[in-house]
């Protein structure tokens, strides 16, 4: 069972790298590029939208959102682009994945704003 999960995760990681190279290709339609950029940025982000320490929901994005986004983005890509990018992805996997600190920073900013909004609302509720 654990081996199946490990294989699945490795294949998913490979597909994210395929998207990483495919969105840079000139033959990829603009709408597929935009969607692929969002999926790749989120997958490479060091920060999750839903932190993993939140029971059950924390892994929801890793198990459902990322694979779903990858599958949809790959369906938008031309087959020839995907085939070429699979070769590039294999080479890149040997070197490790890039980190997207910009997206990570934006997610941290969203969490800070949510915390401030909840704090402000609680303050108003308690003292007004």
How far is the C-alpha of 57 from the C-alpha of 91, rounded, in Å? 33
Identify the pLDDT of residue 75: 93
* 97: pLDDT strictly greater than 60: no
pLDDT-above-90 percentage for the chain: 23
Domain ranges of the chain: 2-127
Identify the pLDDT of residue 117: 93
Identify the pLDDT of residue 32: 92
**Mean pLDDT within 111-126:** 89
* 86: pLDDT strictly greater than 80: yes
How far is the C-alpha of 7 from the C-alpha of 13, rounded, in Å? 10
Comparison of pLDDT for 54 and 36, the residue scoring more? 36
How far is the C-alpha of 49 from the C-alpha of 4, rounded, in Å? 26
Convert the pLDDT of each residue in 38-85 to its tens digit. Answer: 888 877 776 666 666 666 677 777 778 888 999 999 999 999 999 998
The pLDDT confidence band at residue 98, using thresholds 50, 70 and 90, is low
């Amino acid at each position: 069972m654990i081996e199946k999960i490990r294989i699945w995760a490795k294949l998913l990681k490979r597909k994210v790298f395929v998207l990483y190279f495919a969105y840079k290709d000139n033959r990829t339609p603009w709408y597929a590029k935009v969607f692929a950029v969002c999926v790749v940025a989120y997958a490479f982000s060091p920060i999750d939208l839903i932190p993993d320490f939140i029971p059950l929901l924390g892994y929801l994005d890793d198990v459902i959102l990322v694979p779903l986004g990858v599958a949809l983005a790959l369906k938008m890509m031309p087959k020839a682009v995907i085939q070429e990018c699979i070769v590039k992805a294999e080479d890149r996997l040997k070197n490790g994945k890039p980190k997207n600190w910009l997206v990570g920073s934006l997610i941290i900013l969203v969490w800070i704003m949510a915390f401030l909004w909840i704090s402000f609302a609680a303050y108003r509720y308690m003292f007004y």
